[in-house]
Chain A
């Protein structure tokens, strides 16, 4: 007994010391630098729904370039909800999102603010910015079919998204859950093209025909690369990522719906938005101007192997430039107005938003 008591005392001693040593650090963390009218801001709070491996290097470079310390929360899709819940007690300055629909939705909810004059903003086509510049898309991703070359050839997989419900492909492919932001954006585009009724029928049939419904696109690319499924519906940069894997990289890609009169491939973007009423608006503006510098636009796209929205910025070598194929006509900001409706439609069609 006395020995166990000793170990408990030791254990307690260790964490008491640790907590005491850290007390100073917390004090700094919990009180954001409140230095009014000082021209050089010191800190910036970022909420990101992108994969943290893509975002962290960018933010580290920002700190190195500007000296502004960044606190980042990687919270996936929960970011939108968190910003909504915090409307009365705003914590974040900048939101980085994987989906233009989410950014425009936030703007429509009154949660984003116009940054005013921002240097370099003209480098992004107005169609890829909010009407008040409160969000800016920086990189594009296209919905493609990635296939495993060991299992099938290009001719053996569909060339049109519509054909995914063909029983000939039953069980051969993987899709994400309905609540994945890439999936939501894609379905919004289909509604725009086909109308709600046909889209709903298509989703119901798609769910039955798919071989697996997965949490995210990373799962799909690994599964297709490993040969678990012949092909999968992903964003094009997941194909670029899979090519870079040491194993399971014998994969190919089909940009769907490219024939005459067909709808074209569906595009979505990732970008940054300025949160309304954030604690460090000055730092947020510094960040926006910084991220619009050509080298940082390049970094933003290249980290995830996406394609830059700005045609002046070179794309990753394995990517087809966005001008190279037919793109669906719906303006990206349309995604925001229909976002919630699309979620409801997907759920009604029987494709669960979350995996069960």
Chain B
């Protein structure tokens, strides 16, 4: 028996099991990360056959249609926009390329629920367009079309960035060969460039789909119901078990997308060939100005107009005294919960990442996967799991600010893991060995040798978690204790009452903070 266990352990760790304490710490972290989601799935088992049958008959088909149709529609638009812009910026003589490269990524700094609010101000039934033209737009913003538009406008940069990165890394041998054989610029684009970009476009599309599946704020603001908003509102009824059933369906949907992505990545046929070198650009000729107009139009719709709306209402708000003691209280609450989450994430990321990097094996890969559970799955589900779990097993933490921070860590720890991991990859394992030889225990090696070396990655990871936490909405709404609102909560509350002059300053602070990590993101791609 003991021998069998030892054999299993050896195989799981690929023949080099790590220090016991280290693996226990990493396993604990991974389990805490996966616990909320696992608990939701577990609770759904108690929903009873009747409830499952009723929901699968009545609720689920409609939600599947509304959610999937939105995800597909948004992805189609985001891919079209993102690829077109990436090609224009990286492969043509479009004027002002260097500026567009980063400005076109800026919509990522605007949380889609803030974007949705801005567009309600402009296009809503009592919006600016109605004031200017005397009639609101023919299509209501509170509709499928509205959600489609807003989500596409604020998610296309995922495709733009990933595709652009692939374009700038892609060797030009194939394209040049095709051109020398007489293919025109559009022919090269269609028959060579786009097929080679397929896996990059796919990766960007998956990011968009996953975002749409998980988005709560934008669809709820636009009164369009997908799984996430249905789950959230189910919490307003008396029937939490139904919320767990809907969550399980949404988890299945998300896993399906992730599975398809893994499958697609395995099938990718093209690899970067040749060293990147300065591109000889497609000359747009007379189309230059049309292309420039297109880029400026996208930028106007996705950045200038929404930020303009926020600034407009912020100016009114500040004049009305919106920046009062309450506002700063909300800001401090936000800094507190997001800061706490960032600190914990920095501490918790290292053991898991270290294990994965220095003891590559089935077991460490499994732990890493577990830690991704709360990141891949929608925040509403994480919050639901934490509520159930917290009330029963963590009464001392329940209804404190700490609970919100924990939700942020569960949701965003992988961001800290990724950035710490890329720093750790630059540190040679020989350094660890040298430290061990000189008598340090494995945990001491991490604390005293590795930590200082990966500090840039750790700090960047902490900053990413901080910014994601500032923006987070559904878990904050569901978990906040009495008398504890954050800026994101205030944006949500004030905007739902159409009190835009109070919503805008808080939203603008969130956007301003979100711009900071974009720089890091852009360096990475």
Q: Please give the residue numbers on chain A whose beta carbons come within 8 Å of chain B beta carbons, in ascending order.
A: 1, 4-5, 7-9, 11-12, 14-16, 18-19, 21-22, 25-26, 29-30, 45-47, 51-53, 70-74, 76-78, 80-81, 84-86, 88-89, 91-92, 179, 215, 218, 222-223, 226, 228, 340, 343, 353-356
Contact of A7 among B399, B484, B519 (CB under 8 A): B519
Using A30-B400, A77-B236, A78-B235 as known contacts, say yes or no to A8 and B463 having CB atoms under 8 A apart.
yes
* Whole-angstrom CA separation of A215 from B498 in the bound complex: 13
Chain A residues with CB under 8 Å of B399's CB are 86, 91
Q: Is the interface of A mostly helix, strand, loop or mixed?
A: helix
Query: What are 29 pairs between A and B in contact, CB < 8 Å?
Result: A5-B456, A5-B459, A8-B516, A9-B459, A11-B466, A12-B342, A16-B343, A18-B336, A19-B340, A19-B343, A30-B401, A52-B493, A70-B483, A71-B481, A71-B483, A71-B484, A76-B236, A77-B236, A78-B235, A81-B235, A84-B238, A85-B240, A86-B391, A89-B391, A91-B481, A92-B482, A218-B497, A222-B498, A354-B230
Partner of A88, one of B336, B391, B402, B493: B391
A356 touches B66 (CB 8 A): yes
Question: Would B482 and A81 count as touching, CB distance under 8 A?
Answer: no
Give Cα distance in the complex from A70 to B392, angstroms: 26
Q: Is the CB–CB distance between A11 and B463 below 8 Å?
A: yes
CA gap between A5 and B456 in the complex, in Å = 7
Shortest CB-to-CB span from A293 to chain B, Å, is 24
Q: Are B225 and A356 in contact (CB under 8 A)?
A: yes
> How long is the Cα–Cα vector from A78 to B238 in the complex, in angstroms?
8
Assess whether A22 is in contact with B335, with CB atoms less than 8 Å apart.
Answer: yes
Q: Which listed residue, B237, B478, B523, touches A343 by the CB 8 Å rule? A: B237
Q: How far is it, in angstroms, between the C-alpha of A346 and the C-alpha of B233 when the chains are bound?
A: 16
B:488-502 near A, CB below 8 Å? 493, 497-498
User: How many residues does chain B have at the interface if contact means C-beta atoms less than 8 Å apart?
Assistant: 53
Contact residues in B for A228 (Cβ distance below 8 Å)? 125
Assembly CA distance A179 to B238 (angstroms)? 11
Closest to A77 in B: B236
Q: Which of B175-216 contact A (CB under 8 A)?
A: none
Per a CB cutoff under 8 Å, which of B62, B225, B402, B459 touches A30?
Answer: B402
**Total A-B residue contacts, Cβ distance less than 8 Å:** 137
Given known A4-B520, A84-B238, A354-B230, contact A73–B482 (CB-CB < 8 A)? yes
Q: How far is the CA of A84 from the CA of B230 in the complex (A)?
A: 20
Closest to B58 in A: A347
Could you say which residues of chain A place their CB within 8 Å of the CB of B459? Answer: 5, 8-9, 12
What residues of B have a CB within 8 angstroms of the CB of A25 in the complex?
Answer: 336
Any A CB within 8 A of the CB of B338: yes
What chain B residues lie within 8 Å of A92 (beta carbons)? 482
Considering only CB atoms, which chain A residue lies closest to B235 in the complex? Answer: A78
Question: What B residues does A72 contact at CB under 8 A?
Answer: 482-483
Q: What distance in Å separates the Cβ of B125 from its nearest Cβ neighbour in chain A?
A: 6
Query: Which residues, 372 to 427 on B, are CB-close (under 8 Å) to A?
Result: 387-388, 391-392, 395, 398-402
Q: Is B223 among interface residues, defined by CB-CB distance under 8 A?
A: yes
Known A-B contacts A15-B338, A22-B335, A89-B391; A226 and B126 likewise in contact (beta carbons under 8 Å): yes
Cβ A45 vs Cβ B482 within 8 A: yes
Judging by beta carbons under 8 Å apart, are B482 and A47 in contact? yes
Query: In the docked arrangement, what's the CA distance between A74 and B395, Å?
Result: 21
Report if B82 contacts A (CB, 8 A): no
Q: Are B398 and A89 touching (Cβ within 8 A)? A: yes
Q: Are A1 and B336 in contact (CB under 8 A)?
A: no
A15-B342, A354-B225 given; A85·B387 CB < 8 A: yes
Find chain B residues with CB under 8 A from A21 CB.
332
Known: A4-B519, A15-B335, A340-B238. Is A91-B342 also a contact (CB below 8 A)?
no
Chain A residues within 8 Å of B126, by CB: 222, 226
Which 4 pairs across A and B sit closest by C-beta, in order of nearness?
A: A71-B483, A73-B482, A19-B339, A15-B339
Check A356 against B483 for contact (C-beta < 8 Å): no
Q: Does B460 contact A (CB under 8 A)?
A: yes
Extra pairs beyond A8-B456, A46-B482, A179-B236 (17, CB < 8 Å): A4-B523, A8-B516, A12-B342, A12-B466, A15-B342, A16-B343, A19-B340, A22-B335, A26-B401, A29-B481, A72-B482, A77-B237, A78-B478, A218-B497, A226-B126, A343-B238, A354-B237
A22 and B238 form a contact (CB under 8 A): no
B480 within 8 A of A: yes
A228–B140 Cα gap in the complex (Å)?
12
The CA-CA distance from A92 to B398 in the complex, in Å, is 13
Report Cα–Cα, A26/B523, bound state, in Å.
Answer: 37
Whole-angstrom distance from the CB of A28 to the nearest CB of chain B?
11
- Report the minimum CB–CB distance from A4 to chain B (whole Å): 5
Q: Is B474 an interface residue (CB 8 A)?
A: no
- Nearest CB to that of A352 among chain B residues? B225
Q: Which residues does chain A contribute within 8 Å of B73, judged by CB atoms?
A: none
Chain B residues whose C-beta falls within 8 Å of the C-beta of A46 in the assembled complex: 482
Measured between beta carbons, the chain B residues less than 8 angstroms from A353 are 233, 237
CB distance from A219 to the nearest CB of B (A): 9
Provide the bound-state CA to CA distance between A356 and B64, in Å. Answer: 12
B residues in contact with A45, CB < 8 Å: 482-483
| B462: Cβ under 8 A from any A Cβ | yes
**B residues less than 8 Å from A22 (CB atoms):** 332, 335-336
Q: Is the CB of A78 within 8 A of B236?
A: yes
B481 near A73: Cβ-Cβ < 8 Å:
yes
- Docked Cα-Cα span, A73 to B404, in Å, equals 15
Q: Among residues 37 to 73 in chain B, which have CB atoms less than 8 Å away from a CB atom of chain A?
A: 62-63, 66
Q: Which of A18, A86, A218, A354 contacts B236 (CB 8 A)?
A: A354
| B516 partner, pick from A7, A84, A222, beta carbons under 8 A | A7
Nearest B-chain residue to A218, judged by Cβ? B497
For window 317-345 of B, CB contacts with A under 8 Å fall at 332, 335-336, 338-340, 342-343
Of B238, B400, B401, B480, chain A has the most CB atoms within 10 Å of the CB of B238
Compute how far the CA of A243 lies from the CA of B126 in the bound complex, rounded to whole angstroms.
17
Residues of chain A contacted by B401 (CB below 8 angstroms)? 26, 29-30
Q: Tell me the complex Cα distance, A218–B481, Å.
A: 26
A81 to B493, CA, bound (A): 19
Instruction: Write the chain B residue with the least CB distance to A86.
Output: B391
Q: Give 1 or 0 for each of B217-251: 1 = CB within 8 Å of chain A CB.
A: 00000010100011001111110100000000000
- Min Cβ gap A75→B in Å is 8
Could you mark each residue 448-475 of chain B with 1 if its beta carbon is under 8 Å from any beta carbon of chain A, else 0? 0000000010011011001000000000
* Chain B positions within 8 Å of A5 at CB level: 456, 459
B240–A81 CB distance below 8 A: yes
Chain A positions within 8 Å of B402 at CB level:
26, 30
Known A4-B519, A86-B391; judge A16-B339 contact (CB<8 A).
yes
Nearest CB of chain A from residue B453's CB, rounded to whole Å = 14
Complex alpha-carbon distance, A51 and B223, angstroms: 19
Q: Give the docked Cα–Cα distance between A215 and B290 (Å).
A: 42
A70 nearest CB neighbor, chain B only: B483
The answer to whether B493 touches A18, judged by C-beta atoms less than 8 angstroms apart, is no
Complex interface: chain A residues within 8 A of B387 (CB): 85
Bound CA span A80–B399, Å: 16
Contact indicator B223/A226 (Cβ below 8 Å):
no
Q: Complex Cα distance A354/B392, Å?
A: 28
Most interface-central of B225, B233, B235, B484 (chain A CB within 10 A): B233
Q: How far is the CA of A46 from the CA of B129 in the complex (A)?
A: 41
- Distance of B115 from chain A, by nearest CB (Å): 19
A9 vs B463: C-alpha distance when bound (angstroms): 9
Say yes or no: B466 contacts A53, CB within 8 Å.
Answer: no
Cβ-closest chain B residue relative to A247: B126
Which of A1, A47, A52, A215 touches B223 (beta carbons < 8 Å)?
A: A215
Q: Given A15-B338, A84-B238, A356-B66, is A8 in contact with B460 using a C-beta cutoff of 8 Å?
A: yes
Inter-subunit contact A179/B482 (CB<8 Å): no
What separation, in Å, do the CA atoms of A70 and B516 have in the docked complex?
36
Q: Across the interface, which residues of A come within 8 angstroms of B125, CB to CB?
A: 223, 226, 228
Task: Provide the bound-state CA to CA distance between A222 and B120, in Å.
Answer: 14
Closest to A181 in B: B236
| A354 CB contacts on chain B under 8 angstroms | 225, 229-230, 233-234, 236-237
